[in-house]
């Protein structure tokens, strides 16, 4: 890890007067959750139903196109500048401001559904649009949940409550980061596993692991797992109060609208987990333990546009190697396994398994230098990949060429 830090430092240089050129563009991550409200404004102004799907259009079409147009940013802040970047409250305040944006989008969308005439297409388009941005509330919860300050951790719980996925706070930090890129991790996908099969083990597996981890923690403190000290129950209570309030104010239609947006919100996290470690495997050591996770155990993306609306989530490799490092300080490294597009484009591809495998399988093989034994493979698919690639194909000159 020390060598990686030195490499990143050498690449970035040691300019004391470093200026973050994306400093004010990070505000896009704050306004992204408000996109459903922008769509409703456009519907009100134009009367065109297509704007109910504003988020869907932006997420699956416009952002991938902008990623292709603007390309990737491989630059890193010099290590000498990182302490100041980490202390700069501007960056943290942006994550705080994102939390009320999610609540505003939720309440505004629910009010519209309850008061405006809508056909089934419009209703579903708005529910899915809200589901995307609320699902990405997990991104804000992800950033804040890794911090040590009590206020930050409660803000993480508040934003995770919007989509009813509060157990992510425990599951991701204590479970996924421990087991990532091993067969023990339900949030690591296997090569040849489609996203629909993955979801059936990832969603229940993640909750089960979170509950077990919290139960162990509370038992060590002599407390009941059903006490209010349970950090899974805390955001769950907020979700129940929030959804009950929306049902009371806006009526029975919420019994349909809220579950749809929640389910599609959960799908966003499943999509992220699916693409972030697809096929990757940490080496098992002679003592039976797995090697310490390194940046090359996560798929990375330096695509500019999607990173700007996701608080740099896509620099996932450095995040896993250094979980407490804030988004503005995350680095790229040479020869990381790299996604060919940002998360929106990859989420779309993942919904079409054959297309996704055609994009990713050969990249996994390049990462493993052609050795199928170094890859996590879906049970029942090993013979298929033996026929397609051979057990040990010729090694590639680099682990992952940048695209």
CA pair distance 290, 292, nearest whole angstrom: 6
| Average pLDDT taken over every residue of the chain | 92
The predicted-structure confidence for 163-175, as pLDDT tens digits, reads as follows: 999 999 899 999 9
377 located within any domain? no
Please report the pLDDT score of residue 391 as a whole number: 63
Q: How confident is the model at residue 395 (pLDDT cuts 50, 70, 90)?
A: very low
Please report the pLDDT score of residue 16 as a whole number: 59
Q: How confident is the model at residue 200 (pLDDT cuts 50, 70, 90)?
A: very high
Q: Cβ neighbours of residue 275 under 8 Å, at least 6 residues apart?
A: 189, 299, 339, 343, 346, 347, 350
CA pair distance 54, 41, nearest whole angstrom: 11
99 located within any domain? yes
Residue 142 or residue 22, greater confidence = 22
CA pair distance 74, 45, nearest whole angstrom: 40
Q: How confident is the model at residue 9 (pLDDT cuts 50, 70, 90)?
A: very low
The predicted-structure confidence for 263-319, as pLDDT tens digits, reads as follows: 999 999 999 999 999 999 999 999 999 999 899 999 999 999 999 999 999 999 999
Q: How confident is the model at residue 403 (pLDDT cuts 50, 70, 90)?
A: very low
The predicted-structure confidence for 345-360, as pLDDT tens digits, reads as follows: 999 999 999 999 999 9
CA pair distance 248, 279, nearest whole angstrom: 45
Q: Which of 376, 296, 377, 307 is nearest to 345 (CA)?
A: 307
The predicted-structure confidence for 217-255, as pLDDT tens digits, reads as follows: 999 999 999 999 999 999 999 999 999 999 999 999 999
Q: Over 90: is that where the pLDDT of 17 sits?
A: no
β-partners of residue 72 are 303
Residue 16 or residue 152, greater confidence = 152
Tell me the mean pLDDT in the region 39-56. 98
User: To which residue do tokens 């459903």 refer?
Assistant: 36
CA pair distance 300, 282, nearest whole angstrom: 16
Tell me the mean pLDDT in the region 180-207. 97
395 located within any domain? no
Please report the pLDDT score of residue 63 as a whole number: 98
Report DSSP letters for 368-391, one per residue. Answer: TTTBGGGS-B-TT-HHHHHHHH-S
368 located within any domain? no
Domain with 337, as residue range(s), is 21-362
Tell me the mean pLDDT in the region 320-328. 91
Q: Indicate the number of domains in the chain.
A: 1
57 located within any domain? yes
Please report the pLDDT score of residue 3 as a whole number: 46
Report DSSP letters for 170-229, one per residue. Answer: HIIIIIIHHHTTSTT-TTSPPBT--HHHHHHHHHHHHHHHHHHHHHHHHHHTT--TTSTT
* Token pair recorded at residue 242: 């929030």
5 located within any domain? no
Tell me the mean pLDDT in the region 362-389. 96
CA pair distance 198, 208, nearest whole angstrom: 15
Please report the pLDDT score of residue 399 as a whole number: 39
CA pair distance 46, 123, nearest whole angstrom: 17
CA pair distance 300, 302, nearest whole angstrom: 7
């Amino acid at each position: 890890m020390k060598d990686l830090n030195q490499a990143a430092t050498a690449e970035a240089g040691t300019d004391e007067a470093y200026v973050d050129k994306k400093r004010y563009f990070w505000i896009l991550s704050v306004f992204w959750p408000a996109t459903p409200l922008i769509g409703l404004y456009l519907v009100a102004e134009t009367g065109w139903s297509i704007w109910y799907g504003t988020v869907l259009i932006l997420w699956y079409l416009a952002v991938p196109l902008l990623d292709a147009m603007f390309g990737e940013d491989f630059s890193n802040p010099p290590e000498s500048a990182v302490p100041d970047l980490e202390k700069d409250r501007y960056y943290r305040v942006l994550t705080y401001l994102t939390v009320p944006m999610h609540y505003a989008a939720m309440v505004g969308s629910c009010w519209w559904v309850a008061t405006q005439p809508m056909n089934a297409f419009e209703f579903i388009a708005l529910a899915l649009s809200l589901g995307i941005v609320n699902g990405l509330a997990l991104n804000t919860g992800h950033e804040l949940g890794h911090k040590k300050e009590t206020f930050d951790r409660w803000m993480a719980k508040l934003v995770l409550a919007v989509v009813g996925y509060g157990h992510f706070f425990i599951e991701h930090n204590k479970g996924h980061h421990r087991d990532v890129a091993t067969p023990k991790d339900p949030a690591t996908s296997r090569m040849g596993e489609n996203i629909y099969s993955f979801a059936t083990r990832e969603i229940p597996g993640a909750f089960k692991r979170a509950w077990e981890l919290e139960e162990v923690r509370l038992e060590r403190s002599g407390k009941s797992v059903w006490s209010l000290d349970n950090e899974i129950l805390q955001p769950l209570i907020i979700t129940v109060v929030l959804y009950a309030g929306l049902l009371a104010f806006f009526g029975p239609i919420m019994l349909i609208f809220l579950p749809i947006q929640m389910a599609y919100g959960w799908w966003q996290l499943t999509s992220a987990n699916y693409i972030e470690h697809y096929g990757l495997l940490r080496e098992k050591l002679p003592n039976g333990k797995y090697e310490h996770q390194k940046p090359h155990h996560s798929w990375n993306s330096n695509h500019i546009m999607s990173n700007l609306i996701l608080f740099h989530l896509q620099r996932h490799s450095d995040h896993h190697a250094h979980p407490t490092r804030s988004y503005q300080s995350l680095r790229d490294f040479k020869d990381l396994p790299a996604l060919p597009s940002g998360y929106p484009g990859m989420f779309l591809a993942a919904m079409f398994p054959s297309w996704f495998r055609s994009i990713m399988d050969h990249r996994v093989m390049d990462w493993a230098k052609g050795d199928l034994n170094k890859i996590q493979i879906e049970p029942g698919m090993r013979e298929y990949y033996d026929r397609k690639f051979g057990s040990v194909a010729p090694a590639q000159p680099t682990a992952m060429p940048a695209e």
